[in-house]
């Protein structure tokens, strides 16, 4: 049965990719590529930078010297004859991992934590693979190509976040938990209500993040390969379900390791080509940026720089200004709030916490974080080279012609620099990066599905409904069933959200993780007086406040603003027509654009956001600066208002356990 399903999953997934043989018109930019990378917070992924919001990540370039010109029609197209074989190889390799893993997955420990037999180095690579979303790869490099230095500063938060993980949660969570967040929180509290509330929080975070990833997957494949959006989402979903249902944590871990290796290889190779263009000279590289006429023209039209010039505050030439902060992250409070959510939110992400239960010792847990930090840090250095390299060799204006958010900058750069050597190499590099982005999404969504299914099966079914009385066979069956259901729900939600702006979902994921999950995890491990009331208050209040603030923040869609933007767009085009700037051959296309924008204005004028607002009530893109302190305060006040002698008496046991690992199940070899 397992082999039959794996074969069916492989056939259906390959069938979805085969649609690329008859490409359709590419869609608009990805809604929030994994990451779909990264809305107001994040990985990976993360208040997306413009590189994700225009899609958020979080969504035909005119080339600047010494540029190689992409497609003249303003579209980026992969060559199916090159791309499909690479996709088949990657999918085939990962499905082989599933078949191998399925033979080893027999108990609940095998399914949820690979039996605790993953080494520190392997787990470090898997954490990196779980964390580096498509938003990290596409969104951050795109943001750097459009806003320079600020894009790099945005990515620093994800690296620094692992210092929090290393110093605070990695070792204690590994020693005190078993499979899920609920295991940690329920150790010295009333288990049933705590597990139920914790499971709801985990499912909420995972769903927000999973939806953004699924939409990003569909849009990315639609844009690059011409695959129908629904087919792309279904294909990704089938593979995701196959990985998790049959391979469990072992398969998910190795898929993430493979993905991390591919991502680092692709980014490293492309970065090498970028530096070769600068004769491997960093000084020349940055001089090329500051002196590039296209970059200078781009910066001069940015609202921030225009205001600085008008106010007489411009302290640098436009090219040099591209290498200085403040072109995108202009609000200090927003920067602080974003930083808080990134640094603290990562330590509360359930699919990251779950990874620390897969290693045999606390030392391995620490090692895995250090390895992950090294890989993630190296990766973000490479994205900096890719972003600035794209700005030099493609120009910000050219990148925005393909995708206003800049999400395709790295893909365009691969095709351009490879094409400088030979057209085939350009197609090959683009195809490889397409496959890497696809593998990236698969790895992230698999981890999210596993975390959500563990919360439902282990916390709700086994420990709440069955009161802990379920044999191994029943536990594994429940885990696989819930994984299938969660995966199917992810596919349905992904299809339903096709036309929605889902960038805010990543903001929600990190906001809930930092405001709800992290306070209760930290206080459960380190505060003697913490108890059941504190856990429930912290989770409920932190979650509600963070979600509420995001729902009234600039992350949401405000129809009147959409209408205003549409009016500005068609007014500009009408002015260009009146001034004779539009060429006769482009007149028909321009008139259609004007009609489309006018219809868009009419459709949205007078509308309100999902919360019934004309404009944001909360002006920050990320609520962390308010919701994180509120989450901690609610947890503390709840614990003090309803003290529990039992929780206090059990603190010594969990304190010893988290520092020694006594009571952890012995790992098995893999």
Task: Give me the residues of the chain with pLDDT under 50, please.
Answer: 1-73, 665-670
Note whether residue 629 is domain-resident. no
Note whether residue 26 is domain-resident. yes
DSSP code at position 68: P
Per-residue tokens: 455: 């919360």
* Structural domain range at position 300: 2-64+85-499
Integer Cα distance of 72 and 591 in angstroms? 20
Note whether residue 575 is domain-resident. no
Note whether residue 399 is domain-resident. yes
Note whether residue 474 is domain-resident. yes
Note whether residue 613 is domain-resident. no
Integer Cα distance of 621 and 341 in angstroms? 11
Q: What is the pLDDT of residue 69?
A: 43
Q: What is the pLDDT of residue 295?
A: 92
Per-residue tokens: 618: 């909360």
Terminal-residue alpha carbon distance, the chain: 23
The total number of structural domains in the chain stands at 1
Q: What is the pLDDT of residue 527?
A: 92
Note whether residue 634 is domain-resident. no
Q: What is the pLDDT of residue 52?
A: 36
Q: What is the pLDDT of residue 537?
A: 95
**In this structure, are residues 347 and 126 in contact, taking their beta carbons and an 8 Å threshold?**
no
In tens, the pLDDT along 71-129 reads 444 567 778 788 888 888 888 888 888 888 888 888 888 888 887 889 999 999 999 88
Give the max Cα distance, the chain.
82
Integer Cα distance of 465 and 475 in angstroms? 12
Integer Cα distance of 581 and 384 in angstroms? 36
Helices 362-393 & 229-277 angle (0-180, nearest 10): 80
Note whether residue 489 is domain-resident. yes
Q: Domain with 342 in it: what CATH number? A: 1.20.1740
Per-residue tokens: 573: 């085009």
Distance of CA 137 to the CA centre of its chain: 9
CB within 8 Å of 35: residues ≥ 6 apart: 42, 43, 44, 45, 46, 52, 56, 57, 58, 133, 134, 135, 136, 138, 139, 212, 213, 216, 441, 444, 506
């Amino acid at each position: 049965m397992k082999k039959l399903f794996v074969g069916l999953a492989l056939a259906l997934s390959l069938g979805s990719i085969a649609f690329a043989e008859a490409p359709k018109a590419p869609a608009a930019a990805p809604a929030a590529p994994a990451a779909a990378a990264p809305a107001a917070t994040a990985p990976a992924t993360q208040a997306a930078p413009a590189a994700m919001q225009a899609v958020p990540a979080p969504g035909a370039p005119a080339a600047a010297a010494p540029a190689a010109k992409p497609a003249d029609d303003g579209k980026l197209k992969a060559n199916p004859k090159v791309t499909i074989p690479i996709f088949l190889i990657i999918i085939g390799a990962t499905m082989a991992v599933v078949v191998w893993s399925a033979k080893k997955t027999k108990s609940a420990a095998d399914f949820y934590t690979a039996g605790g037999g993953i080494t520190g180095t392997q787990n470090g690579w898997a954490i990196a693979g779980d964390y580096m979303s498509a938003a990290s790869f596409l969104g951050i490099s795109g943001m750097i190509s459009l806003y320079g230095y600020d894009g790099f500063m945005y990515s620093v938060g994800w690296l620094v976040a692992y210092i929090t993980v290393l110093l605070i949660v990695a070792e204690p969570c590994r020693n005190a938990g078993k499979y899920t967040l609920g295991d940690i929180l329920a150790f010295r509290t009333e288990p049933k209500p705590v597990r139920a509330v914790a499971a709801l929080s985990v499912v909420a975070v995972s769903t927000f993040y999973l939806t953004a990833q699924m939409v990003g997957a569909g849009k990315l494949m639609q844009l690059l390969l011409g695959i129908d959006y629904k087919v792309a989402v279904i294909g990704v979903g089938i593979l995701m379900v196959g990985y998790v249902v049959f391979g469990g944590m072992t398969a998910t871990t190795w898929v993430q390791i493979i993905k991390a290796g591919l991502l680092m290889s692709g980014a490293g190779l492309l970065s090498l080509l970028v530096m070769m263009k600068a004769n491997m000279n960093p000084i020349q590289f940055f001089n090329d940026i500051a002196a590039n006429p296209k970059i200078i023209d781009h910066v001069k039209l940015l609202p921030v720089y225009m205001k600085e010039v008008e106010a007489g505050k411009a302290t640098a030439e436009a090219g040099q200004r591209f290498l200085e902060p403040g072109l995108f992250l202009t609000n200090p409070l927003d920067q602080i709030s974003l930083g808080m959510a990134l640094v603290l939110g990562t330590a509360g992400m359930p699919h990251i916490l779950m990874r620390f239960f897969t290693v045999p010792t606390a030392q391995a847990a620490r090692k895995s974080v250090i390895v992950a930090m090294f890989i993630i840090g190296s990766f973000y250095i490479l994205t900096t080279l890719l972003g600035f390299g794209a700005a030099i060799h493609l120009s910000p204006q050219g990148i925005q012609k393909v995708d206003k958010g800049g999400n395709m900058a790295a893909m365009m750069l691969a095709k351009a620099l490879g094409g400088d050597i030979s057209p085939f190499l350009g197609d090959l590099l683009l195809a490889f990066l397409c496959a890497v982005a696809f593998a990236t999404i698969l790895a992230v969504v698999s981890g999210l599905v596993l975390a959500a299914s563990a919360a439902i099966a282990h916390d709700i079914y086994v420990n709440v409904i069955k009161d802990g009385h379920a044999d191994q066979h029943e536990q594994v069956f429940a885990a696989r069933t819930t994984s299938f259901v969660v995966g199917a729900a992810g596919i349905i939600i992904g299809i339903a959200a096709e036309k929605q702006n889902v960038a805010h979902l990543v903001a929600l994921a990190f906001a809930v993780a930092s405001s709800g999950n992290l306070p209760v995890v930290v206080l459960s491990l380190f505060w003697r007086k913490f108890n059941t009331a504190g856990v429930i208050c912290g989770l409920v209040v932190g979650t509600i406040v963070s979600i509420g603030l995001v729902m009234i923040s600039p992350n949401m869609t405000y129809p009147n603003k959409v209408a205003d933007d549409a009016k500005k767009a068609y007014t500009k085009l009408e002015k260009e027509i009146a001034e004779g700037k539009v060429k006769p051959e482009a007149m028909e296309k321009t008139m259609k654009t004007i009609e489309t924008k006018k219809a868009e204005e009419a459709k949205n004028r007078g509308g309100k956001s999902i919360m019934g607002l004309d404009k944001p009530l909360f002006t920050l893109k990320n609520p962390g600066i308010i919701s994180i302190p509120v989450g901690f305060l609610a947890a503390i006040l709840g614990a003090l208002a309803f003290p529990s002698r039992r929780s206090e008496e059990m603190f010594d046991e969990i304190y010893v356990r988290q520092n020694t690992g006594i009571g952890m199940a012995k790992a098995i070899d893999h």
